[in-house]
């Protein structure tokens, strides 16, 4: 009897130390109004929603440059859910430090958007607390790493700098013609 009693006491002690997570709640269908970046959206009647458990590369604001794959992550999220109906699943803390709602995003046809972005290498798992879908997100990240997708593969395409202003090579033929004619007119006006 004593042999059976010890494992039960041990099991009870372990269960008491595990965090109690609230059941996952799913919203009614909501319309996505905007995609802010690769892991933040704006939803009708709710406002800003941060995709729970993942972190996409940051888009530069102001003079900051974009992180590699930031634009690709936002473009992919836009193609998946912009102006479409989604359901939000809440799990754990409802808001982050920036007062954005934290949620899993599921499309009407059942696609788990958070995991899809991770599986394609456009986001990484960033969960710091136990989540109900953490194992699914971790499997998606392992798959992206194994197949070297997105950020886990090669370098992203680097766009040509557009901040250099107009160079002679970039001017259109009509602008070159206007420039030549204005130089001629200016030269004629200088003659006595």
For 83-110, write each residue's pLDDT tens digit. 999 999 998 788 888 889 999 999 999 9
Question: Would you place residue 46 in the very low, low, confident or very high pLDDT band (cuts 50, 70, 90)?
Answer: very high
Amino acid 160: pLDDT: 64
Amino acid 98: pLDDT: 86
As a whole number, the mean pLDDT across the chain is 81
Specify if 159 maps to a domain. Answer: no
Specify if 6 maps to a domain. Answer: no
Structural domain of residue 48, as residue ranges?
Answer: 20-152
Judged against a pLDDT cut of 50, whether residue 119 lies above it is answered with yes
Specify if 49 maps to a domain. Answer: yes
> In this predicted model, which residue has the larger pLDDT, 5 or 138?
138
| Burial (CB count <10 Å: 0-12, 13-18, 19+), residue 88 | buried
Whether 118 and 137 have beta carbons less than 8 Å apart is answered as yes
Amino acid 51: pLDDT: 97
Distance in angstroms (rounded) separating the CA atoms of residues 78 and 72:
10
Question: Would you place residue 161 in the very low, low, confident or very high pLDDT band (cuts 50, 70, 90)?
Answer: low
Whether 32 and 83 have beta carbons less than 8 Å apart is answered as yes
Specify if 112 maps to a domain. Answer: yes
| Three-class DSSP labels, the chain | CHHHHHHHHHHHHHHHHCCCCCCCEECCCEEEEEEEECCEEEECCCEEEEECCEECCCCCCCCCCCCCCHHHHHHHHHHHHCCCEEEEEECCCCECCCCCEEEEEEECCCCEHHHHHHHCCCCEECCCCCCCCHHHHHHHHHHHHHCCCHHHCCCCCCCCCCCCCCCCCCCCHHHHHHHHHHHHHHHHHHCC
Specify if 75 maps to a domain. Answer: yes
| CATH number for 113 | 2.40.50.90
Number of folded domains in the chain? 1
Half-sphere exposure of 97 (CA within 13 A, CB side): 0
> In this predicted model, which residue has the larger pLDDT, 98 or 114?
114
Question: Would you place residue 127 in the very low, low, confident or very high pLDDT band (cuts 50, 70, 90)?
Answer: confident
């Amino acid at each position: 009897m004593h042999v059976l009693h010890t494992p039960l006491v041990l099991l009870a002690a372990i269960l008491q130390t595990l965090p109690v997570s609230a059941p996952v709640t799913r919203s009614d269908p909501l319309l996505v109004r905007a995609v802010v970046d690769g892991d933040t959206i704006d939803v009708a009647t709710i406002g800003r929603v941060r995709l729970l458990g993942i972190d996409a590369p940051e888009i530069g604001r102001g003079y900051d440059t974009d992180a590699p794959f930031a634009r690709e992550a936002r473009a992919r999220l836009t193609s998946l859910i912009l102006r479409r109906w989604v359901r939000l699943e809440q799990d754990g803390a409802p808001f982050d430090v920036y007062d954005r709602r934290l949620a899993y995003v599921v499309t009407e046809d059942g696609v788990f958007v958070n995991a899809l972005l991770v599986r394609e290498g456009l986001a990484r798992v960033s969960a710091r607390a136990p989540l109900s879908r953490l194992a699914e997100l971790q499997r998606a990240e392992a798959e992206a790493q194994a197949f070297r997708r997105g950020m886990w593969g090669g370098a992203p395409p680097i766009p040509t700098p557009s901040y250099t202003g107009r160079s002679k090579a970039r001017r259109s033929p009509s602008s070159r013609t206007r420039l030549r004619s204005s130089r001629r007119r200016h030269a004629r006006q200088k003659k006595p």
